[in-house]
Amino acid sequence: MPNKHTFDIKPIRKLIDEINPGGSSIDPFANKQKIATITNDLDPQFKTDYNLEALDFMKTVNTEVIDFVLFDPPYSPRQVSEVYKSFGKTVSMETTQSSYWAILKDEIQRVLKPGGKVISFGWNSNGVGKTRGFRIDRILIVAHGGNHNDTICTVETKLQSRLKRTKLSLCAEDETK
C-alpha cells in the first residue's frame, strides 16, 4: 500500500539500504526519516537538522561534499500547494512550476561529489538527469494497487562535475570553426 512516509515502504527501504554508500548524505524533504546524516523538513514538528524550504536548505550545503542524496519531494504541484498551505505559507507560481524541481536538481548536481549517488522518488523516472552529468543505474517501480499511482525510484550516479560554458570558451569554439 502507499504510504506518505515513502521510506517505510519495504521495497523502497531495501533499495535505500542497498544503495547508500555511507559517508555524507542529505535529505531535503526528510519528514520523520533519519536515514541521511543531514536532514531537513519544512515542518518543524519533525526534529530534523534544518526546518527550511528545500531550496534554501540546499544552498547551505557546500559544493561537491555529499556522497548520497535522497530526493523525495512532493510529486505534483498540487502536493506542493497542500504542504505550503498547511503551514500558512503563500504558494507562489515559482514553487508550483516544473522550474522549481529543475532548480532543486541543479542544486543536487552542485552538492554531490563525482561518483556520488542519488535516489529520486516520484511518478516518473526522470531523476536528476543526463544533461546534469548523471547516469541511471537502476529503476524500481513500486505498484500500490487499485487507483494509486506507482512510486518510481530512480538511482543515479554523478559522473563528473558539470562543465560551464563561459563567453571565453564560446569565443574559443568560434575561432576553431
Are the CB atoms for 42 and 52 separated by under 8 Å? yes
Are the CB atoms for 113 and 62 separated by under 8 Å? no
DSSP 50: B
Q: How far is CA 129 from CA 81, 97, 118, 126, 156, in A?
A: 25, 18, 11, 6, 8
Report the amino acid identity of residue 87: F
**CA-to-CA distance for 91 and 171, rounded, in angstroms?**
42
78 vs 28 pLDDT, higher one: 28
Task: Tell me the CATH number for domain 6-176.
Answer: 3.40.50.150
24 vs 177 pLDDT, higher one: 24
Supply the pLDDT for residue 162: 56
Q: What pTM does this model have?
A: 0.85
Are the CB atoms for 155 and 138 separated by under 8 Å? yes
* Whether pLDDT at 14 is above 90: yes
pLDDT in tens, 84-134: 667 676 776 666 667 888 999 999 999 999 999 999 999 999 999 999 999
pLDDT in tens, 133-147: 999 999 999 999 888
List phi, psi (to 5°) of 131: -70, -15
Domain ranges of the chain: 6-176
User: Percentage of residues in the chain with pLDDT exceeding 90?
Assistant: 67
Q: How far is CA 70 from CA 25, 42, 91, in A?
A: 8, 16, 24
